[in-house]
Structure 1
Amino acid sequence: MVNPSAKQDPEALLAAKLASLPTTPGCYLFIDKAGAVVYVGKAKSLRSRVRSYFQESGSDARYFIPILRKIVADLETVVTATEKEAAVLENELVKQHKPRFNVKLRDDKDFLCLKLDTQKAWPMLETVRRPAPDKARYFGPYHSATSARRTLHLVNKHFQLRTCSDTEMASRRRPCLQYQIKRCLAPCVMDVDRELYTEMVRSVALFLEGRHDELTGELTTRMRDASRELEFERAAIYRDQLRAVEAVREAQRVVYVKDVDQDVVGIYREGTLVEVEVILVRRGRVTDTLSFSLRNMELPDDEVLGGFLNEYYGVASTTIPDEVLVPVLPDGAEGVAEWLGDRRGRKVALFVPQRGPRVDLLKMANENAAHAFREKQRSSDDLEARLEEIRERLRLPTLPRRIECCDISHLGGGDTVGSIVALLDGQPDKKRYRSFNVKSVADGDDYAAMYEVLSRRFRRGKAARQASPASTADSEAAPGAEGAPESDVMEGVTESDMMESDPAESDALESDATEGDLADEDIGSATASDAPPETEGTPVSAAAERESAGSGGDVSRRAEAGGGEWDLPDLFVVDGGRGQLQVALSAARDLGLHGLPIVGLAKERETQTGEKLVDRVYLPGQKNGIPLRSTSSALFFLARARDEAHRFANHARKRLGKARRLRSEIEDIPGLGSAVRTALLRELGSMEGVRRATDAQILGVTGVTKRHLSALRKVIPSPESSQPDAPAEDTGDLSKARGLTR
């Protein structure tokens, strides 16, 4: 987009465009003074719709109109032949420009969906984030990862589809544990009836579509047929599936007796905060409810709802019903309904109910939206109260919105790993988790390991503070300015949190984290070759960990380049009592961070007989710990940070041990990249084959050069070097000829 012409008055230019608008369907784009698209909309008549935004009459009381008139400097229109084309084009323009005022249901990731690829020989149900046009069946999207995985677990428990990947299935030689507990038919190695497996796949599809009445009838028929044929094991499978379906149906509420599928969309708003509730009704039963929170929605309800429908039903996995009930029709409703019908393959009705049971359904959806809005607001208010309790109990200067916790884990003194986890407003912020491979302390010395980990973490926090714009502005007057000794760094706590890349889903908080949740491994002062092969993360965070103890200038430059990724939290918690707290305080004070709030959290015996364990918080300069009740809000957040740090440290330690056990000798040879190492092992068979290989054989490996050969020979000598008397004429091996000339 180009900026409005500087030669012509922007208001006059805008007025001229408004006067020349056509009466045909199409899309319009509002552009601000910087040339960015701030809103995309569609209209049945561009002239009447767009001009309504700029009418001066006092009858238009929509609160977004004054804001719109202030920021919009230009507009563009795209004429379409039909309202359906306008709806399709609007969806594409929103994806292209990402306007600030349009509805966005996602941040940087998609919702989880369930994928059932019926084109495979043995289909399986799996979770995906981005549906692909691969002719597979998708179900969802699910508004939370927990809901999606709960459904997946229920299906795997009762319908016995395979759960292993295609690679695992091809390499199996015997059934896995899922077959032993009768949760899989083991098509990987067993002779499975393909007709039975196909029936299972169809049952799963009906179950996920919410067609429980149809599924119940089919399962009942199959169970009776299997009983007549004396196949009682198969009949038992159908019986268990019937019980699972009945259990789900009992939790469903019958709201409308009619053989149609419906989505009922309710809306509630307070100012720019909007809550949208979608009730899924299948064959007259409520099968699920979805809640979506929208912020900064300056537009009226009809446009918010229109944008929501485009976003929600634009996902490939969304099941489109027979009817969509809405509280207010969006502009171009006929085109939206036609677009939905094309996506579904059958006609879809989009309307506002006026009488009958549909009105009650819509009323229930609006009430649920208002209830969800109030619950989320109440959760926010409750969070403030909890944080205030922590601030008062621990005598903190500010609310501890950002909390970090450190824990050390090792196995018999080896594979020592330190972890630092982060909480943001009481919720785990997994993108900012850090793990540190401890290298420079004696085995089993928890105090020394904690000192090393915290020194490395605090050193980066200090460098980030010095590199921040606030500290730069005060550098001439405040201690800790550039050139000042480390002990003179200025005190205080920033409000920025750590940064960490999280390869796992980061949508809603999961109760059970998997190995994918492990963040980047901090390899400290070790060399690149010391890092485990499974280390993940961005090059920036890996490089930020490789400085030596005296490389403060490099740390400062990296911290400045990385922004606030290492800024210190509002509260730092160490897992332990007075001893661990003194270590943390020493690590901070040695770097001049005297104002960082640090506490220790330990679970200790309340009586001499050890009948009861209580959590105590230890504060600096205070001998006795503060006991916290199990119902205390302060304990809730601190214990969550402590438990998460413990889990994360153990997870990192297991990965480090696995990497050490599976590590190959060739990975310790400097000068050989991963591609060259892989090529050598693949073409020469093993490490023993590399040792026996001649120079000519090694140079014959794809991608290996003389430079790689030289690096390899510095560690593994040529096999011909042990036979100096062998004549060079017997072979053209370069290494033998070189041996004779020595």
Structure 2
Amino acid sequence: MEDETPVLEPGQLQRMLASLPTESGVYIMRDRSGAVLYVGKARNLRARVRSYFRRSGDNRPFVRRLGRLLHDIEVVLTPTEKDALVLERRLVQQLHPRFNVDLTDDKNFLSLLIGAGEFPRLVLARRRPRATGEHPAGRWYGPYTSSRQARQLLRLVQQAYGLRTCSDRRLAGRSRPCLLYQMGRCSAPCTGLIDQQEYAERVRQAQRFLRGRRREVLQALEQRMQQAAARLDFEVAARLRDRWQAARKALAQQAIVESNRGDVDVVALASQQEQALALIMQVRDGCLLGVTQLPFNLLQAPATDSLRQLLVQHYSSGADVPGRLLVDRLALVGGEGRHDLEALGLWLEQLRGRRVKVHSSTRGTAGRLLEMARRNAGQALQQRLEVQERGRERLLRLQQRLGLGRLPERIECVDLSTTGGRESVGAVSVLLRGQPRPQLYRHYRIRRSPLDDDLQMMREVVQRRLQRLQAEQKPLPDLLLLDGGRGHLRVVADLLAELGVEVELAAIAKGRARRRRGQQIHDEVYRPGRKNPWLVKAGHEELYLLAQARDEAHRFAIGHHRRLRGRGQLNTTLEQVAGVGPVLRRRLLDHFGSLERMSRATPAELLQVRGISARLAGRLQEFLAQQLVCPPGTGESVDRA
């Protein structure tokens, strides 16, 4: 529990505030240890920071906590407020302040990418790819908070425009059309069934479609369909008709919310208790294209600052910037309100390369759009709070069933993966308040334990995990779950006693697939000091939470294990190639990750590895062509997210 006594005396705080400059810039608040508490920007630094400590008293939870922890304030002056906004974003990314909001889960959102080249590729991706390899620089659309929406959009674009989804290697190596062509979802550029000019036109139409210009696309398709019919080219007219119908279907599913068919993002804010949610309605060509939800905690920072920072992170992550941004006036009460809007507009103009109007309104179409966004934000926040409450109830039931001393808000599960003692690894999955947090997952290569001793390997992974958490002063899990049985539980319990660490323990093991009283038994849960395990059956939601944690750890462990096996296979194979030494082997491993990927690489892709000459690339291709098919299980790298 934090000390309630303020670090600074009132006189010290007032002298510090009085010494702040009145120019625009960024302020960095630190605690006694030098750790960064909060980073913010201001048009007038002294006035902005003083607003946190007015004598009238600010009852916001963030301000009360800040007053107890603040020890020092650093400032960085900037020429303009827009420069302060850019610097604020950069410092938040670099310093990870305790109270700043952060879109830490943005990397989990899917986006659509249309690549570059003669026949650009359409793919789903969770991160903006580098402009090399299979993903050259291209157009980025998203992110979409609903993966279902992103996948549906991918299928619609495939049906309407027939853009390929295969890799460049597969494109160059096919001799006949794939199944997607037979299904009407690819135009088969791999076999020359469409020329580059026609494909480029389809790409341009798909890009307009994804930007929301769907009525324009419909009109262009209808005109070309009529022209083809007039030429009596009925086969082309039929294909254009199918694409027109697919595009029309997508348009019919969208609500028309603005009669003047403009492009605008509508931003509203809802708050309840200590939770808040910013909602962005994307309106393109007058139609509601999508909705993005950005939740945050009011304990972290003032709502106005949090909203500004969330918007900057949202648009800098690749989201489409429209010509207008309509912001709920209620979301800008306090802080620097109007000045925040001006700085945000200037920054968005620089990002977009054209003028962006940022404003607020309560009348006409704009007022109706804002009211619609407010209602949706309130509904989304209410649903989120209800989900959180159900999750808390499930955690309470789990605490009661297992007899835990505290609510298991942080559950960590440890699993092992090995094949005959080769490339043995351990993995840790993390569930926070019942939800998986992949960015916190970690994997470990077994170093010290006998590779045929499952219990000692488990002991090693747990020991390294706990020691790392302690060294980094990070919270220990409320419940440490082991993928194993009584033996694993006993070994780790002894380890905790040796380390003097108090952590609740449990183990989960696969049941023997028998039936008892007509119900299938899937898993058994063990606890220290309890003779009989709990049986995970239908209706035991709290115990299924443990199975979820185990499955996540298992998936993550197997993915890392397969990567290592693939790299090991590649390393052994490359030792046989003259001219490829340890340094080049390491570069090839880092670039391709597996023998299968490398065997599919083109000469141009091989030349992207530093130190590979054209002659050596040819030698590598010739050698790999003589190898047998990659052994089962090497596979491609599995993304850890």
**What TM-score do you get using the length of structure 2 for normalisation?**
0.70
Alignment equivalent of 1:631, drawn from 519, 539, 545:
539
Specify the alignment match of 1:373 in structure 2. Answer: 381
1:623-679 Cα distance to aligned partner (Å, 9 max, x none): 87644442321343133245445655665676677667767467599xx95336699
Contact 1:417 1:437 in 2 (8 A): yes
Range with greater deviation from structure 2 (375-384 or 128-137):
128-137
- Count of matched residue positions in the alignment of Structure 1 and Structure 2: 552
In structure 2, C-alpha distance between the alignment counterparts of 1:76 and 1:655, rounded to whole Å: 46
Task: Report the alpha carbon displacement of residue 196 of structure 1 after superposing the two structures with TM.
Answer: 2.3
AA matched with 1:422: S
**1:383 has 2:290 as partner:** no
Task: Report the alpha carbon displacement of residue 130 of structure 1 after superposing the two structures with TM.
Answer: 4.1
Q: 1:396 to 1:105 in 2, by over 3 A?
A: closer
AA matched with 2:185: R
SS state at 1:381 partner = helix
Contact 1:422 1:641 in 2 (8 A): yes
Range with greater deviation from structure 2 (288-297 or 643-652):
643-652
Q: 1:17 to 1:629 in 2, by over 3 A?
A: closer
Specify the alignment match of 1:159 in structure 2. Answer: 161
Q: 1:230 to 1:72 in 2, by over 3 A?
A: farther
Specify the alignment match of 2:267 in structure 1. Answer: 265
Task: Report the alpha carbon displacement of residue 582 of structure 1 after superposing the two structures with TM.
Answer: 4.4
Unaligned runs of 5+ in 2: 1-10, 499-503, 589-610, 613-641
SS state at 2:120 partner = coil
Specify the alignment match of 1:278 in structure 2. Answer: 280
Q: 1:645 to 1:235 in 2, by over 3 A?
A: farther
Contact 2:270 2:374 in 1 (8 A): yes
SS state at 2:277 partner = strand
**1:41 has 2:41 as partner:** yes
AA matched with 1:633: E
AA matched with 1:605: R
Task: Report the alpha carbon displacement of residue 437 of structure 1 after superposing the two structures with TM.
Answer: 8.3
Specify the alignment match of 1:572 in structure 2. Answer: 481
Alignment equivalent of 1:198, drawn from 197, 200, 207:
200
Contact 1:275 1:373 in 2 (8 A): yes
1:333-365 Cα distance to aligned partner (Å, 9 max, x none): 345435434544444332221222322221221
SS state at 2:338 partner = coil
1:102-150 Cα distance to aligned partner (Å, 9 max, x none): 86443397565433345x2222234363488998433223346665455
Alignment of 1:425-574 (within 5 A): 425=432, 426-430=434-438, 431-432=440-441, 434=443, 452-462=453-463, 570-574=479-483
Contact 1:324 1:351 in 2 (8 A): yes
Specify the alignment match of 1:140 in structure 2. Answer: 142
AA matched with 1:107: T
SS state at 2:157 partner = helix
Range with greater deviation from structure 2 (354-363 or 51-60):
51-60
Contact 1:262 1:325 in 2 (8 A): no
Task: Report the alpha carbon displacement of residue 154 of structure 1 after superposing the two structures with TM.
Answer: 4.1
AA matched with 2:220: E
CA RMSD of aligned residues (A): 4.8
Contact 1:277 1:369 in 2 (8 A): yes
1:517-572 Cα distance to aligned partner (Å, 9 max, x none): xxxxxxxxxxxxxxxxxxxxxxxxxxxxxxxxxxxxxxxxxxx878879x787243
1:412-447 Cα distance to aligned partner (Å, 9 max, x none): x89797765524133344453548789999xxxxxx
AA matched with 1:121: E
In structure 2, C-alpha distance between the alignment counterparts of 1:117 and 1:314, rounded to whole Å: 19
Alignment of 1:167-182 (within 5 A): 167-170=169-172, 175-182=177-184
Task: Report the alpha carbon displacement of residue 386 of structure 1 after superposing the two structures with TM.
Answer: 1.4
SS state at 1:313 partner = helix
Specify the alignment match of 2:604 in structure 1. Answer: none
Alignment of 1:318-337 (within 5 A): 318-328=320-330, 330-332=337-339, 333-337=341-345
Contact 1:312 1:318 in 2 (8 A): no
Contact 1:32 1:38 in 2 (8 A): yes
In structure 2, C-alpha distance between the alignment counterparts of 1:54 and 1:418, rounded to whole Å: 49
Alignment equivalent of 2:81, drawn from 74, 86, 91:
86
Alignment equivalent of 1:121, drawn from 118, 122, 137:
118
In structure 2, C-alpha distance between the alignment counterparts of 1:374 and 1:662, rounded to whole Å: 52
Q: 1:393 to 1:207 in 2, by over 3 A?
A: same
In structure 1, C-alpha distance between the alignment counterparts of 2:447 and 2:27, rounded to whole Å: 55
Q: 1:267 to 1:660 in 2, by over 3 A?
A: closer
Contact 1:405 1:420 in 2 (8 A): yes
Task: Report the alpha carbon displacement of residue 267 of structure 1 after superposing the two structures with TM.
Answer: 0.7
Q: 1:607 to 1:189 in 2, by over 3 A?
A: same
AA matched with 1:386: R
In structure 2, C-alpha distance between the alignment counterparts of 1:586 and 1:66, rounded to whole Å: 45
Alignment equivalent of 1:605, drawn from 489, 504, 514:
514
Contact 1:102 1:307 in 2 (8 A): no
Contact 1:39 1:101 in 2 (8 A): no
Specify the alignment match of 1:472 in structure 2. Answer: none
Contact 2:164 2:187 in 1 (8 A): yes
**1:584 has 2:488 as partner:** yes
Task: Report the alpha carbon displacement of residue 52 of structure 1 after superposing the two structures with TM.
Answer: 6.5
Q: 1:655 to 1:612 in 2, by over 3 A?
A: farther
Of all paired residues, the percent bearing the same amino acid is 26
Contact 1:268 1:373 in 2 (8 A): yes
Specify the alignment match of 1:402 in structure 2. Answer: 411
Contact 2:283 2:289 in 1 (8 A): yes
SS state at 1:162 partner = coil
Contact 1:112 1:145 in 2 (8 A): yes
Specify the alignment match of 1:714 in structure 2. Answer: none
1:165-191 Cα distance to aligned partner (Å, 9 max, x none): 445544555555544544322323425
Q: Which has the larger radius of gyration?
A: 1
**What TM-score do you get using the length of structure 1 for normalisation?**
0.61
Unaligned runs of 5+ in 1: 1-7, 442-447, 469-495, 497-559, 575-579, 681-701, 704-742
1:274-306 Cα distance to aligned partner (Å, 9 max, x none): 311111122332111111122356665544444
Task: Report the alpha carbon displacement of residue 233 of structure 1 after superposing the two structures with TM.
Answer: 4.5
Specify the alignment match of 1:27 in structure 2. Answer: 25
Q: 1:30 to 1:588 in 2, by over 3 A?
A: closer
Q: 1:302 to 1:652 in 2, by over 3 A?
A: closer
Specify the alignment match of 1:107 in structure 2. Answer: 104
**1:53 has 2:23 as partner:** no
Q: 1:47 to 1:663 in 2, by over 3 A?
A: closer
Task: Report the alpha carbon displacement of residue 266 of structure 1 after superposing the two structures with TM.
Answer: 0.5
Task: Report the alpha carbon displacement of residue 592 of structure 1 after superposing the two structures with TM.
Answer: 8.0
Q: 1:336 to 1:640 in 2, by over 3 A?
A: closer
Contact 1:115 1:125 in 2 (8 A): yes
SS state at 1:597 partner = strand
In structure 1, C-alpha distance between the alignment counterparts of 2:586 and 2:20, rounded to whole Å: 63
Specify the alignment match of 2:524 in structure 1. Answer: 617
Alignment of 1:720-731 (within 5 A): none
Contact 1:406 1:645 in 2 (8 A): yes
Alignment equivalent of 2:431, drawn from 408, 424, 428:
424
Q: 1:676 to 1:437 in 2, by over 3 A?
A: same
AA matched with 2:18: A
AA matched with 1:92: L
Q: 1:626 to 1:336 in 2, by over 3 A?
A: closer
Contact 2:431 2:437 in 1 (8 A): yes
Contact 2:17 2:49 in 1 (8 A): no
In structure 2, C-alpha distance between the alignment counterparts of 1:563 and 1:48, rounded to whole Å: 34
AA matched with 2:41: G
AA matched with 1:106: L
SS state at 2:189 partner = coil
In structure 2, C-alpha distance between the alignment counterparts of 1:121 and 1:166, rounded to whole Å: 11
